[in-house]
Amino acid sequence: MRRVVASGVVGLARLLAGGQVRRIGFTPDERQRIYFANHTSHLDFVVIWSALPKRLRALTRPVAARDYWAKGLKRYLALKVFNAVLVDRVRSDPATPNPLDVLLDGLGDRHSLIIFPEGTRGDGTQLGAFKSGLYRLGKARPDVELVPVYIDNLNRVLPKGEFAPVPMLASVSFGAPMRIEDGEEKADFLERARDAILELRQW
Amino acid sequence: MVNFLHDRATLYLFGGVLAILVVATIAGQLIKLRVRNAVVDNLNARIRAWWIMSAVFAFSLATGGIGSVILFAILSFFALREFITLTPTRPADHSALFWVFFIITPLQYYLVAVKWYGFFAVLIPVYAFLFIPSRIAIAGDPNAFLERSAKIQWGLMVCVYCVSHAPALLMLEIPKYEGKNARLLFFLVVIVQLSDVLQYVWGKLLGRHKIAPVISPSKTWEGFVGGVLTATAIGGALWWATPFNLWQATLMAFIIAMMGFAGGLTMSAIKRDRGVKDWGAAIEGHGGVLDRIDSICFAAPIFFHLTRYFFTP
């Protein structure tokens, strides 16, 4: 059942946003990775997930906001189909676990993650500043490769505030994996990571 | 399906297409033995894609009317998606686009399927034409308003309204031609596509003088004249499969080929304006869906209306 739903979701993602998948210096394989991408739409991780080869989808867990994904059908899709890691965007109760621990837990020893370091959805034209989560994840797990991903045109499929998607050709570009260099400062690394996504824009 | 297999004329037509594909495939492989470059690889990729496109088209005709209506509806949907992707719209256009893709387009093809000519002919040029700018105005963003409305209307006209006239040929009631309209659709598609291919072939063989090099670097006068004349002659030779006599079939094929050329050139102008080579990458060697059906967009409505005006009571 899950498999059927998963292929249904992939098919739907292709119908609505089917377009090109580009791999620039990136080869998909089972290595643990953290894919970090620009965030323009609720469909972002669905499209990145669909752009990966089938065998990697089962190993790749999107990180999604609990307040949006924890209800009804979305909850079923998030937890059962995508095996998402749900995090609280606002940590109101100190009893909820530290988001970084939740992500490290989600990564485990064989999974990969899809994260959006801008934290919130942009309008598709600008790339916002990165939050520090990517850096802290990279520091905590230096063995995991960080892969920049640029999603183009998807904000037009489902713009912020809209409910129904419209078909459009989007493209997903995977860039060369990177790591935090020895002694690299947080701000320098986040700038470098952001540039890596901007670099993919020209493809 | 049964009718189709007992229809000798239609079988001859498909036999002809099969023969052309076989000859083209052998020629492509022979050329590949002697020359290896990007042009030859693209040629062979195009021929491979032609096999698939011909098979899909033949299958859709074999299922009777409904298969062709569904096939062209899908083509319209993908073509419109390519068109809108390359057309800058703003977030305020979202609802209008939703209507265009999920309500107006299916409705247009529904009207073809139920043969409701009166509504089919005005749905997009009248109702959708007025609805789209109103819906965008309600969304409340005045930036480039006229431009945005016009682009969506244009995409809908070309990709949906014009293309839907191809399967609409099946709704025409031509005296003494009942139940044979699939051949008319076949005639249109084959002449348009042959004219495209022959213009390409003549252009590659003899092309010297470019028609509009900035708009379409590959279109030459030699290719245009050679392709249109050859396609016209083939159209005339197929008169026995149509409701037309020899000279009528020849004239129709000539008009189809000319309109196809106009369509290809016009759609190229839009691509150049947007700074791209192809509309998409859906069909190997050909580019996007719209790259393959741009000539049908222009030929289908004219062929439909000429046939309707002169050959139906």
- B254 and B128 in a single domain? The answer is no
Nearest to A168 among B77, B85, B91 (CB): B85
| Nearest by Cα to B86 from B214, B273, B216 | B273
Per-residue confidence (pLDDT) for residue A203, from 0 to 100: 62
pTM of the model: 0.86
Per-residue confidence (pLDDT) for residue A91, from 0 to 100: 67
Chain A hits for B97, CB-CB cut-off 8 Å, are 166
- pLDDT tens column, B15-51: 999 999 999 999 999 988 888 888 888 888 889 989 9
Is the CB of residue B84 less than 8 Å away from at least one CB of chain A? Answer: yes
Cα–Cα distance for residue pair A175/B249, rounded to 1 Å: 55
A168/B281 CB distance under 8 A? no
B84/A168 CB distance under 8 A? yes
Q: A62: domain range?
A: 2-200
- B89 and B157 in a single domain? The answer is yes
- B186 and B305 in a single domain? The answer is yes
- B244 and B273 in a single domain? The answer is yes
A:26-85 residues touching chain B, CB 8 A cutoff? none
* Site from A14, A42, A166, A172 to mutate, B interface, most B CB atoms within 10 angstroms: A166
Return the number of CB contacts < 8 Å for A and B. 33
- B125 and B186 in a single domain? The answer is no
For residue B243, give the DSSP letter: S
Chain A hits for B83, CB-CB cut-off 8 Å, are none
- B167 and B198 in a single domain? The answer is no
Q: CATH code at A86?
A: 3.40.1130.10
Is residue A141 classed exposed, middle or buried when 0-12, 13-18 and 19+ CB atoms within 10 A define those classes?
middle
A169/B89 CB distance under 8 A? no
- pLDDT tens column, A3-16: 888 888 888 888 88
Per-residue confidence (pLDDT) for residue B306, from 0 to 100: 97
Report, as ranges of residue numbers, the positions in chain A whose pLDDT lies below 50: none
| Nearest by Cα to B160 from B77, B102, B86 | B77
Q: What is the mean pLDDT of each run of 10 residues along chain B (313 residues)?
A: 62 90 92 85 88 89 87 95 88 92 97 96 97 94 92 96 96 90 93 94 90 89 96 96 95 97 94 85 81 95 97 92
B98/A160 CB distance under 8 A? no
Chain B hits for A166, CB-CB cut-off 8 Å, are 84, 94, 97-98, 101
Contact A40, A122 (CB under 8 A): yes
B81/A162 CB distance under 8 A? no
Nearest to A168 among B77, B81, B281 (CB): B81
- B184 and B164 in a single domain? The answer is no
What's chain B's length in residues? 313
How far is residue B312 from each of residues A156, B7, B68, B246, measured CA to CA in Å?
A: 45, 23, 21, 18
Per-residue confidence (pLDDT) for residue A124, from 0 to 100: 67
Instruction: Specify the 3-state DSSP secondary structure of B34.
Output: helix
SS3 for chain A is CHHHHHHHHHHHHHHHHCCEEEECCCCCCCCCEEEEECCCCCCHHHHHHHHCCHHHHCCEEEEEEHHHHCCHHHHHHHHHHCCCEEECCCCCCCCCCCHHHHHHHHHCCCCEEEECCCCCCCCCCCCCCCCCHHHHHHHHCCCCEEEEEEEECHHHHCCCCCCCCCCCCCEEEECCCECCCCCCCHHHHHHHHHHHHHHHCCC
- B26 and B103 in a single domain? The answer is no
Q: B38: domain range?
A: 1-62
* Residue that is written with structure tokens 């860039």 in the block: A175
- B13 and B74 in a single domain? The answer is no
Per-residue confidence (pLDDT) for residue B6, from 0 to 100: 59
For residue B238, give the DSSP letter: T
How many CB atoms are located within 10 Å of the residue A132 CB?
Answer: 14
- B312 and B186 in a single domain? The answer is yes
Per-residue confidence (pLDDT) for residue B1, from 0 to 100: 42
Q: Which of B137, B154, B171 lies at the terminal end of a domain, its last residue? A: B171
